[in-house]
Structure 1
Amino acid sequence: MDHDAISIDGGTAADRHARPGAAGAGGANDLLAHFSDPHSVARYAEGPPRFVPGFTDLHRMTRLLLTERAPDDARVLVLGAGGGLELKAFAEAEPHWTFDGVDPAAEMLGLAGRTLGPLAARVRLHQGYIDDAPEGPFDAATCLLTLHFLAPDERRRTAAEIRRRLKPGAPFVAAHSSFPQDDGERALWLSRYAAFAVASGADPDQARTARAAIDTRLNLLSPAHDEAILRDAGFSNVSLFYAAFTWRGWVAYA
């Protein structure tokens, strides 16, 4: 399905990247700009399975956690939906769910539409950030491989806005880069991140570049800090369900 065949709401890229605090530090904005490059977007699907251990299983576990409380006809909010990989995994397994996917990069939303194919009939895509998401109320929400782009205060605000859009008790799954930040440990875990990527087929130079970008551009926090942010945002029963080198995933409830 081509870009024009799906419904994408939102403003211009310039409007979004000018939004104060929307993506945290300037380095995070540089990484987000990467997702607006057509060449990078075209190769996006190759990356996550090589850099994120158990990537497909992460999608499967996320869906199973949502089904514990979400109804058969759930309306699900997916923040960071560009690329469409988790949307496709959820939509294929849950034929009666509908989705609102939000992402700041138009190119990535176009890729999501192509990835979804006929499944896009149950998906509305919105260009922007959490403030551009529908008000809901939603039966469930996810934010995968995304919150590490945001500075702590913006991360907390974004999580609170997700919670506000959920029905009481609805599940929320977040997974992103989160690992020990103490001197020495941080560098060791980043080296393990790169080593896994190379062992999974990534080009060594690409892995080194990715390691450096994460080290200098992302807003990296410890797992304890990330859990505290979810609680501060109003979520309850925050539980770790996924841990793989530099990645962590939690389920929590509105």
Structure 2
Amino acid sequence: MPVVIREDREQYMQELRDWLEQERDVPLEEMADFFHRRIDTYEEKMQTWKAAYEKIAGWIGGDTKRMLDLGCGTGLELESIFRKYPHIHVTGIDLCGTMLEKLRRKYRGKDITLICGDYFQEPFGESCYDMVISFESLHHFLPEKKRELFAKIEKALKPGGRFLEGDYIACCEEEENLLRLECRRKRKAGGISEDQFVHFDIPLTLEHETELLKSVGFANAAGLECIDGATFIEAVK
């Protein structure tokens, strides 16, 4: 059964256009600073996806021993995973050190390696992970950057390994193009280069996201389910 991103597409697109007009003069924020300023309210806000977090563990294979978590934040996606697989080793990468400290305190005693850095720049290694996951992190980046990252993920996975992405996916090409153009306009208005990470959503459609994954060598990539606006995609090496 095809994954439905938005049941109410027309209403959703009108609300999005209205919101963009209201936010037209709001400047972009640098990514790490955005999350650092909101550390006290982050977990409460992310409860929007409570059902999605609970579902993640069901897509983690029972033979998973080593897992890489990209944009791990405070580790909300790890709660259900550690509940089901308490001895799994997790490497987490995030730009925001404040969030990583919160994650470290939350999961004392677990087998976790945390890296405060840019997952586009940090080395992942080759054929060393059974699973790579990322939740609500990759929709801030252009296709060229995603392709670069997806290629690193594919190389980091063992043969037969899987990448599970849960993310904001555009419901249609109109949404994809509208947000990308607005982000470009805001960057120009603020004198911000394309190389600087900013907190603004530029999601791809499900078709374009899966095409990117296949283009770097994944044998298969397909949508699994959309839960409260978070669309899960599985790519298999």
Q: Is TM > 0.5 for Structure 1 vs Structure 2?
A: yes
Instruction: Find the aligned partners of 2:89 and 2:203 in 1 and give their Cα distance.
Output: 32
1:71 paired residue number: 63
* Residues 228 and 134 of structure 1: CA distance in aligned 2, closer, same or farther (over 3 Å): closer
Match for residue 132 of structure 1 among 110, 117, 122: 122
The CA RMSD measured in Å over matched residues stands at 2.5
Which of 43, 46, 51 is equivalent to 2:44? 46
Q: Secondary structure at the match of 1:102?
A: strand
* 1:32 shift after superposition: 3.6
How far apart in 1 are the matches of 2:160 and 2:211? 19
Residue aligning to 1:56: 50
CA contact (8 A) 2:67 2:132 kept: yes
**Structure 2 segments unaligned to the other structure (5+ residues):** 1-26, 179-198
Q: Deviations over 1:124-163 (max 9, x none)?
A: 0011123324415111110111111211110111111111
1:218 corresponds in structure 2 to: 201
Q: CA deviation at 1:245?
A: 5.6
Q: Is the 8 A contact 2:176 2:204 kept in 1?
A: no
1:57-86 per-residue CA deviation (whole Å, 9 max, x = no partner) reads: 32343322221xx526x1111111111111
User: Which amino acid in the other structure matches residue 116 of structure 2?
Assistant: Q
The match for 1:82 is: 73
TM-score normalised over the length of structure 2 = 0.71
Contact 2:206 / 2:223 at 8 angstroms: preserved in 1?
no
For 1:244 and 1:220, the matched residues in 2 are separated by 16
Code of the aligned partner of 1:42: D
> When the two structures are superposed, what TM-score results if normalisation uses the length of structure 1?
0.67
Q: Is the Cα–Cα contact under 8 Å of residues 58 and 242 in structure 1 kept in the other structure? A: no
Please report how far the alpha carbon of residue 186 of structure 1 lies from its aligned counterpart in structure 2 after TM superposition.
8.6
Contact residue 180 and residue 186 of structure 1 kept, 8 A: no
- 1:138, 1:167 within 8 Å by CA — same for their partners in 2? yes
**Which AA in structure 2 matches 1:240?**
G
Ranges in structure 1 where 5+ consecutive residues have no aligned partner: 1-26, 188-215
* Mapped contact 2:164–2:235 kept (Cα < 8 A): yes
8 A Cα contact 1:28 1:149, kept in partner:
no
Match of 2:234 in 1: 251
Distance 1:247 1:156 in 2: 20
